[in-house]
Structure 1
C-alpha cells in the first residue's frame, strides 16, 4: 500500500516538475522508436528534423517475397512497371548513388520497397513517390516506424506539371506543391545538387519523357526551378546509346544526344539484364518490346547531372528554346552540310560564320560536337546577319508537338 505524501510547497512543485521534465527528455529517444511514437515531419529543408539513426538496419525482403507482394497487388490491366526485387542489386544501386543524409533522394515508383529500405539503411533521406494505391499501405507502415527519415507521397513523378489541359486528379501533381510540402527550397543554379531522383523511365513513353525533361531543364521550369536536380534513371540500352552517341555515329547521334550532352554530365552507373528486374505483368514475362531486343538487352542506370555553366555565356532561359529548335533542324538530316543549313537561314552568311569559328565548311551536321553547336548558336545570337528570321522556319510550328 502506498502512503499518502504531503503536498509540496511552490518551490517543491517546481523541483518535481523539473525532475519529471529531465526524465521525459531521457526517455523520449527510446519511446520514439515505438509504433505510434513517430516524430512529426517538419519538412526536408528544416534543421529541426531528426537525423536518421545510422544504427537502424531494415530487413530487406527476398526476391520471391517482393514478387509475391507485387503479384498480390496487380490490377487487371496495370501500366507495365519494373521493380528491383533482388537485395544484392538494390545494394549495388544504392552504392552507385553514393547516398547520404544530404541531398534528399526522391524515389519514383518504389513498389515493394526493396530499394527504399536499402537507401534508408545507407542513411539516405528518402521521399517515396508512389502512384499505385495498392503499394501505399506497406510504404506508409514503414514511414510510421521511422523518425522522419522517410516520407511517402501519393504522386506520379512522370505526371508532374502536365502540359495543356491535362488532368490534375491524383496522382498528378504540380512540382511547386510537391516541393513546398516537402520543405525543399529553391537554390541558385550554380549551387550543389539539392535533390537526387532515382527511378525507371516508363517503357512506353521513354523517348517522350526524355524530351519533356530536356525542355523543362533548358527552361528551368518544373523541378528545375529548384536548382540542378540530379536524375538517376534506368533507361533502355537503346536510349542510353542515343544519349551518349558521338559525332559520326550517324545512326545514334541525334538532337537528343546534343541537347543532353550540352546540358548534363552523363555517367553510366550500372548495367543490368532485363531479366534481373521484377515486373507487374501477370504472365511474369520480361515484357521487352521487340525494338529493344538484342543487342539492347540491358537496362542502364544513368546519372544526368546538369552542368553548372549551362546558363553562362550566351545561353539563357529566354533563348534556350531557340537553341533546341536549331539543334532539331540541324540534325533532322545528319548527312546534310552544315553550311547549307546556315545559308538557308541567312543567305551567303554561312561561310563567314564557319571561318570565324574555325569549323570546316564541308562538315556535315552529324559530325559537329555538342560544344561546337553551342559556340555556333552563341555566335548566331551575336551576329547581325542572323536576325532570328530563321525562327519562322516551317519546322517551328511542330517543335513542341510531342505527346507527353
Structure 2
C-alpha cells in the first residue's frame, strides 16, 4: 500500500523490511528507502503468497521464504529460543479464512516462516475472525476447529481495534465495503499478535504428527453438538469410553464443550493407541491437508 504501516514502524525506530506486492506503490517506497540510512529495505513481493505450491520458477510477487529470510539476514533458531522476527501486515479479506488455515499448517509443521523459529505475527484481521480465534467452548458458531488449533498453537493478544471507516473500503455507491457477517460482529479490523507457544512441541505433539492432530480436531468439531464418544466409535476405537474416563472428560461431553487443551490431551492419549497407524486414517489426513492447501 502507500506505506502508512511502514512509516509508523520506522518512526518507532525499528529496522523494517517492507514487502510490496503492488508495483504502483514501489517508486514512493523506494524513494523513502533511499532517503534512510539502511533502516528500510523494500522488496517486490507478497507475504501472503510465500512458498506457493507450484513446481518450477516462482514469479514475483510470489516468493520463497528461504530467499526472503536470507535477504533479511535472519537465521533459523531453536523453537524454544526468543522470537527471531516480528511480522506486521493486513490479511487479505477475500482469502482471510484460507490464509489463516495455511499459516496454521505452516506453524504446526514448522515450515515456511516457522522453519526459522517462533515468528511473531502482528496482523490486522476482521473482527469476525478474531471472535473465532479467541472463542471459548460452548460459544455457538464462533467456537470452531480454527479456535482450538490457534489457541493451542499461539498466545493471542488483541493490540488494537480500528473501525472499518478508517480504511479505504468505499464502494462505488459511497458505502463501506465491509465483509458480510451474519452471526458475529464485524465492525472493526483487529490488530492481533500471534506468538507461537514455546511448549507447543513438548509431549506427544510433534511437527511430524501435527497434521493428524489438525485432522482430529477438524473431525471432532465438524458436528459441534455430537458426542465425543460417538466420534471415537466412528473411528473404530472400542476403548473410547475408557479413554475419556482416564482423561476425566465426561462420557456424554459434546465436541463443542471441550477446551483446546482437552483436545491436545485427547490427541496425546490417542497417540498411544493404534488408531493413528490405521491406513484409512492416514489416507484421510492426507486428503484433508490436500484440500486445505488448494
TM-score by length of 2: 0.93
* Alignment partners' CA distance in 2, 1:377 and 1:293: 30
Cα deviation code 1:214-270 (max 9, x no counterpart): 001100000100110111111111111110011011311111001000000001111
* Match status 1:210 vs 2:100: yes
Among residues 384, 388, 395, which one is paired with 2:277 in the alignment?
388
Cα deviation code 1:83-118 (max 9, x no counterpart): xxxxxxxxxxxxxxxxxxxxxxxxxxxx22222222
Residues 320 and 387 of structure 1: is their aligned pair in 2 closer, same or farther, counting only changes over 3 Å?
closer
Contact 1:129-1:152 within 8 A present in 2 as well: yes
Q: 4+ residue stretches of structure 1 with deviation over 4 A?
A: 279-285, 392-396
Residues 387 and 119 of structure 1: is their aligned pair in 2 closer, same or farther, counting only changes over 3 Å?
closer
Q: Any unmatched runs of 5+ in structure 2?
A: none
Contact 1:112-1:135 within 8 A present in 2 as well: yes
Among residues 110, 113, 131, which one is paired with 1:220 in the alignment?
110
* Match status 1:188 vs 2:78: yes
Contact 1:329-1:395 within 8 A present in 2 as well: no
Contact 2:276-2:282 within 8 A present in 1 as well: no
Matching residue of 1:118:
8
Contact 1:325-1:396 within 8 A present in 2 as well: no
* Alignment partners' CA distance in 2, 1:204 and 1:376: 34
Contact 1:343-1:350 within 8 A present in 2 as well: yes
Among residues 259, 266, 288, which one is paired with 1:376 in the alignment?
266
Residues 196 and 301 of structure 1: is their aligned pair in 2 closer, same or farther, counting only changes over 3 Å?
same
Task: Give RMSD over aligned pairs.
Answer: 2.1
TM-score by length of 1: 0.69
Matching residue of 2:136:
246
Matching residue of 1:21:
none
* Alignment partners' CA distance in 1, 2:288 and 2:264: 22
The within-5 A match list for 1:281-360 is: 285-291=175-181, 295-360=185-250
Question: What secondary structure does 1:142 align onto?
Answer: helix
Q: CA deviation at 1:284?
A: 6.4
Q: Please say which structure displays the higher CA radius of gyration.
A: 1
Matching residue of 1:233:
123
* Match status 1:364 vs 2:254: yes
Deviates more, 1:274-283 or 1:143-152: 274-283
* Alignment partners' CA distance in 1, 2:268 and 2:59: 42
Among residues 255, 262, 270, which one is paired with 2:145 in the alignment?
255
Q: Any unmatched runs of 5+ in structure 1?
A: 1-110
* Alignment partners' CA distance in 2, 1:121 and 1:314: 44
* Alignment partners' CA distance in 2, 1:285 and 1:257: 31
* Alignment partners' CA distance in 1, 2:248 and 2:30: 59
Q: CA deviation at 1:402?
A: 3.0
Matching residue of 1:135:
25
Question: What secondary structure does 1:144 align onto?
Answer: helix
Q: CA deviation at 1:165?
A: 4.5
Matching residue of 2:159:
269
Size of the aligned set, in residue pairs, is 293
Question: What secondary structure does 1:204 align onto?
Answer: helix
Contact 2:19-2:42 within 8 A present in 1 as well: yes
